[in-house]
């Protein structure tokens, strides 16, 4: 069947529990969006959520890098270190990319998904293509302990049509009428079920859910992380994905009733959202909410600050970085990195770290350096 004729129409029913969890999510999101927080506290919550998403989404796939080591893995500016550190670094970079894409209002298309996967799965040095190709071979999911096939995905020849149909559904009126969390759950389930890539499908599906939630207004100022909830009970996570269906895609997983999975997804999101709202309540300020100075910065500038929190072992050290660091952080040429630094200098975001004619190191302006130091100190103190 040509891709243009194939349609994806997910099936599910709302339950009383699902509606209740959706209401809890709405309440927590609205509270966090308006809650007054000290600038450093808000920055730490956002930074910590990204760190936990990175740690636990990769841990679900067997990555053993500890939460405390995530910062070290990401702080390695070049592509060095063992494969597990590379996976951590990739996922952090993917979340940064998603943050910029969603801030620009990018739609979720096949190109979007192939670009996202390429960032998540890249390994080693050298140039990489901008988009991943769909798999061309059978790719069964095998139980490492028993050797049994846990899941037999659709045939490679069917993948392009299935992905085109999923992207078309996401852009449909029917999808737009659904609550954001329901839409995010459907997209994540369908992508991991199609299994369009040879590797990295689980991480891509979880990142896709994050992207959909952000685009749908459920960003919670960047404080929300669901991956830790999945990891806390992996057995339930996988059982919810399986829904008791046959391991063969063509024997029921091609058109399942998604109610059990969506019930689990919104319950998990509700748990994570309520946890965030309670933590934010404990840190709330007596001063009415106003946009913190760092929130006025562009997404890339905010991400530079976050990188500096990771890279600096002590809160009091000078926060210096090079054009080469910027080039690696954002995957751009050295020339582009230097152009950005000149623009940031004109905007007052960065300053040369020395008086040399050719600047080799830069530092953020004092008010931003103070924020990074405060955020680092708060993290070291476990706030």
pLDDT tens for each residue of 76-103:
655 555 788 889 989 999 999 999 998 8
Indicate if the pLDDT at residue 349 is higher than 50. Answer: yes
CA distance 84 to 115: 21
Provide Rg for the chain, Cα atoms.
Answer: 21
C-beta of residue 96 within 8 angstroms of C-beta of residue 241: no
Separation CA 219–CA 5 (nearest Å):
34
Which ranges in the chain are annotated with CATH 1.10.3290.10? 16-283
What fold does the segment set 16-283 form as a domain? Fic-like fold (1.10.3290)
User: What pTM was estimated for this model as a whole?
Assistant: 0.82
Of 253-267, 306-320, 352-366, the range with the lowest mean pLDDT is 306-320
Q: How sure is the predictor about 164, in pLDDT bands with cuts at 50, 70 and 90?
A: very high
Q: How confident is the model at residue 171 (pLDDT cuts 50, 70, 90)?
A: very high
Q: Quote the percentage of the chain above a pLDDT of 70.
A: 88
Query: What's the pLDDT at 314?
Result: 46
Distance of CA 322 to the CA centre of its chain: 26
Mean pLDDT (the chain) is 86
pLDDT tens-digit map of 134-162: 999 998 888 777 878 889 999 999 999 99
Q: What is the pLDDT of residues 99-131, one digit of tens each?
A: 999 888 888 999 999 999 999 997 655 445 689
Does residue 194 carry a pLDDT above 80?
Answer: yes
Instruction: Answer yes or no: CATH 3.20.20.70 is held by domain 293-380.
Output: no
Question: Taking Cα atoms as reference points, which of 369, 285, 216, 207 lies closest to residue 41?
Answer: 285
């Amino acid at each position: 069947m040509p891709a243009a004729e194939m349609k994806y129409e997910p099936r599910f029913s709302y339950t009383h529990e699902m509606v209740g969890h959706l209401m809890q999510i709405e309440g927590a999101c609205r509270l966090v969006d308006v809650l007054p927080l000290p600038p450093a506290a808000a920055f730490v919550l956002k930074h910590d959520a990204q760190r936990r998403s990175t740690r636990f989404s990769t841990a679900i796939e067997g990555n053993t890098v500890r939460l405390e080591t995530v910062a070290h893995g990401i702080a390695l500016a070049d592509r060095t270190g063992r494969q597990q550190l590379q996976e951590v670094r990739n996922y952090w970079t993917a979340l940064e990319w998603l943050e910029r894409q969603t801030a620009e209002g990018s739609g979720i298309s096949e190109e979007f998904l192939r670009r996202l996967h390429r960032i998540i799965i890249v390994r080693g040095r050298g140039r990489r293509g901008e988009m991943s190709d769909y798999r061309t071979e059978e790719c069964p999911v095998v139980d490492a302990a028993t050797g049994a096939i846990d899941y037999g995905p659709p045939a490679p020849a069917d993948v392009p049509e299935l992905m085109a149909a999923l992207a078309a559904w996401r852009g449909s009126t029917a999808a737009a009428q659904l609550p954001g969390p329901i839409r995010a759950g459907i997209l994540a389930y369908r992508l991991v079920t199609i299994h369009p890539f040879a590797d990295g499908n689980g991480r891509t599906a979880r990142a896709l859910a994050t992207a959909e939630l952000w685009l749908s207004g459920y960003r919670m100022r960047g404080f929300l992380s669901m991956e830790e909830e999945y990891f806390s009970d992996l057995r339930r996570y996988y059982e919810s994905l399986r829904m008791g269906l046959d391991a063969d895609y063509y024997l029921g997983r091609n058109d399942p009733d998604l109610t059990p999975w969506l019930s689990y997804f919104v319950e998990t999101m509700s748990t994570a959202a309520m946890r965030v709202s309670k933590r934010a309540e404990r840190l709330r300020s007596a001063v009415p909410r106003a946009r913190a100075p760092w929130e006025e910065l562009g997404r890339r500038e905010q991400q530079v600050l976050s990188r500096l929190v990771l890279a600096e072992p002590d809160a009091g050290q000078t926060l210096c970085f090079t054009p080469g660091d910027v080039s690696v952080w954002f995957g751009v040429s050295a020339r582009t990195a230097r152009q950005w630094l000149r623009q940031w200098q004109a905007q007052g975001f960065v300053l040369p770290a020395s008086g040399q004619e050719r600047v080799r190191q830069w530092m953020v302006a004092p008010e931003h350096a103070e924020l990074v130091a405060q955020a680092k100190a708060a993290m070291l103190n476990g706030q």
